């Protein structure tokens, strides 16, 4: 598990070189919609996606976004953290005539992650891409995958190794906060290796956390593996940057898109002053929680390690910060005590024997960062601790969840 600070991200874009190849079909109109349901015919998995296509020219590129653990990006698409705002991914893609499709992982147990059941989730995405290509007039010769933390792990460890034919026409990947080598054997066609480039962006301080996951080491291992497999790779390891990449996603993605534009792509238009709000009404559904897990070598720092390999970082939806309260204020029959220190906190939780799965503590800062830890114990009292990660004299909120149920909330201020 990686004590996460921010939500995670992954994106797929489609565009073109030369005459834009498109599938022959009756295309639907380009519109903005949210929480569109999709069920994979091959896996039976069901989840949702948003689509941002209003105002684009046909045929347009297609960009799918894969969140980090907890699905913060998907649940908050208007936030300037990653997707929203003038400099967010949606605006940058829209300015370049690319449809943006953030996808919610079809994970129904505990924290919403891409890396748990990664192989089946990869099939779900494969089927979703086919569905989108059949419904919309999209360019099929340039696909970009953009992911953060657990989403980054998903791209490099599961999706590309199994379904690289989807990107055989060209494109690239922008991989944030992780992105390790494949979990199983993988082979790629000459066209995939020749046409699909990969760029890693992980902070120089995004190193081993209390869970043992080291996003930087995992990213470097992933880049080295893909380079040795014949891909064109590049990276940025910005100094002084940790797993918190708030506000950085859009600019990095735009830079990579502009570095490898399709020969017949329309010239980038000025970035819209604001990301238009979707027209569709979101369907009630939200499973809060942290972000993701990679290989036993590293992970974008989530709560659990799927396969002995790594763990990506959680990206849970920050809970609203309650009005300032200097002393700890737990609200729950499960939470029995809250003990903040200068740089951490210990929350005592009485877990009943009827509990199921993981009981997770997630701590949120007012800026949207978060950290989490969990236990599978039940029928006893457990101390859940976040250590050496918080700032002195700062106000934080927290939630305690068991499975999908919130069993405790509260706030505290670290000592100065």
249-258 pLDDT, tens digit per residue, is: 999 999 989 9
pLDDT, position 109: 83
Give 312 or 30, the one with higher predicted confidence. Answer: 30
Within 10 A of 19 (CB to CB), how many other CB atoms are there? 10
pLDDT, position 169: 84
Question: What's the burial of 395, exposed, middle or buried (CB within 10 Å: 0-12/13-18/19+)?
Answer: middle
Share of the chain above pLDDT 70, in %: 75
**Segment 343-352 mean pLDDT:** 92
pLDDT, position 399: 84
> Furthest-apart CA pair in the chain: how many Å?
65
Q: How confident is the model at residue 328 (pLDDT cuts 50, 70, 90)?
A: low
pLDDT, position 309: 38
Kindly report, residue by residue over 142-158, the tens digit of the pLDDT: 788 999 999 999 999 99
Give the best-scoring range by mean pLDDT among 135-144, 153-162, 300-309: 153-162
Q: Checking DSSP bridges between strand 359-365 and strand 395-402, what pairing results, if any?
A: antiparallel
Kindly report, residue by residue over 96-125, the tens digit of the pLDDT: 988 899 999 999 888 899 998 999 999 999
Q: What end-to-end distance do the CA atoms of the chain give, in Å? A: 28
Kindly report, residue by residue over 60-89, the tens digit of the pLDDT: 888 889 999 999 999 999 999 999 999 999
**Segment 195-207 mean pLDDT:** 94
Nearest to 178 by CA among 35, 323, 331, 292: 292
Tell me how many degrees the CA angle 338-342-347 measures, rounded to the nearest 5. 20
Quote the DSSP letter at residue 5.
-
**Segment 322-330 mean pLDDT:** 44
Tell me how many degrees the CA angle 273-370-287 measures, rounded to the nearest 5. 80
On the question of pLDDT at 320 being above 90, the answer is no
Nearest to 114 by CA among 319, 293, 381, 332: 293
Average of per-residue pLDDT values in the chain: 79
Task: Give me the domains of the chain, ranges plus CATH numbers.
Answer: 10-259 (3.40.50.1820), 335-413 (2.60.40.10)
**Segment 276-303 mean pLDDT:** 38
DSSP for 12-59 reads EEEE-SSS-----S-PPPP-EEEEEEEE-TTT--EEEEEEE-TTPPSS
Size of the chain, expressed as the number of residues it contains: 416
Cis peptide before 59 (omega within 30 of 0): yes
Share of the chain above pLDDT 90, in %: 51
Tell me the pTM.
Answer: 0.64
Distance CA 129, CA 80 (A): 26
pLDDT, position 238: 95
Give 168 or 32, the one with higher predicted confidence. Answer: 32
Distance CA 147, CA 183 (A): 17
Return the bridge partners of 373, or none.
361
Determine the distance from the C-alpha atom of residue 129 to the mean position of all C-alpha atoms in its chain, rounded to a whole number. Answer: 18
Distance CA 111, CA 114 (A): 10
Distance CA 389, CA 298 (A): 18
Within 10 A of 22 (CB to CB), how many other CB atoms are there? 19
pLDDT, position 223: 97
């Amino acid at each position: 598990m990686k004590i996460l600070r921010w939500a995670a991200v992954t994106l797929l874009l489609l565009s073109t070189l030369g005459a834009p190849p498109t599938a022959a079909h009756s295309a639907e109109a380009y519109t903005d919609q949210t929480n569109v349901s999709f069920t994979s015919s091959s896996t039976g998995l069901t989840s949702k996606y948003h689509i941002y296509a209003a105002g684009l020219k046909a045929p347009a590129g297609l960009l799918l976004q894969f969140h980090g653990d907890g699905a913060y990006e998907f649940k908050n698409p208007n936030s300037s953290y990653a997707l929203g705002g003038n400099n967010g991914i949606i605006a940058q893609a829209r300015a370049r005539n690319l449809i943006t499709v953030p996808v919610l992982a079809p994970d129904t147990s505990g924290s919403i992650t891409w890396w748990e059941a990664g192989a089946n989730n990869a099939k779900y995405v494969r089927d979703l891409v086919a569905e989108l290509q059949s419904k919309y007039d999209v360019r099929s010769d340039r696909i970009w995958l953009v992911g953060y933390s657990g989403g980054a792990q998903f791209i490099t460890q599961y999706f590309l190794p199994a379904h690289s034919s989807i990107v055989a026409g060209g494109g690239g990947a922008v991989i944030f906060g992780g992105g390790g080598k494949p979990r199983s054997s993988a082979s790629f066609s000459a066209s995939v290796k020749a046409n699909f480039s990969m760029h890693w962006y992980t902070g120089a301080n995004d190193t081993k956390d209390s869970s043992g996951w080291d996003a930087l080491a995992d990213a470097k291992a992933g880049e080295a593996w893909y380079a040795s497999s014949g891909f064109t790779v590049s990276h940025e390891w910005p100094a002084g940057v940790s797993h918190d990449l708030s506000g950085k996603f859009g600019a990095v993605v735009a830079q990579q898109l502009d570095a490898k534009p399709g020969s017949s792509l329309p010239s980038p238009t000025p970035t819209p002053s604001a990301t238009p709000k979707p027209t569709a009404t979101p369907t009630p559904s939200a499973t809060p929680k942290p972000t993701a897990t990679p290989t036993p070598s590293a992970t974008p720092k989530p709560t659990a390690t799927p396969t002995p390999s790594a763990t990506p970082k959680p990206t849970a939806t920050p809970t609203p910060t309650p009005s300032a309260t200097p002393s700890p204020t737990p609200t729950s029959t499960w939470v029995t005590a809250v003990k903040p220190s200068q740089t951490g906190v210990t929350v005592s939780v009485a877990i009943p024997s009827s509990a199921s799965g993981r009981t997770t503590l997630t701590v949120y800062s007012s800026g949207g960062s978060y950290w989490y830890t969990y236990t599978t114990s039940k029928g006893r009292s457990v101390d859940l601790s976040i250590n050496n990660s918080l700032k002195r004299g700062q106000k934080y909120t927290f939630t305690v969840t068991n499975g999908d149920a919130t069993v405790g909330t509260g706030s505290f201020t670290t000592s100065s």
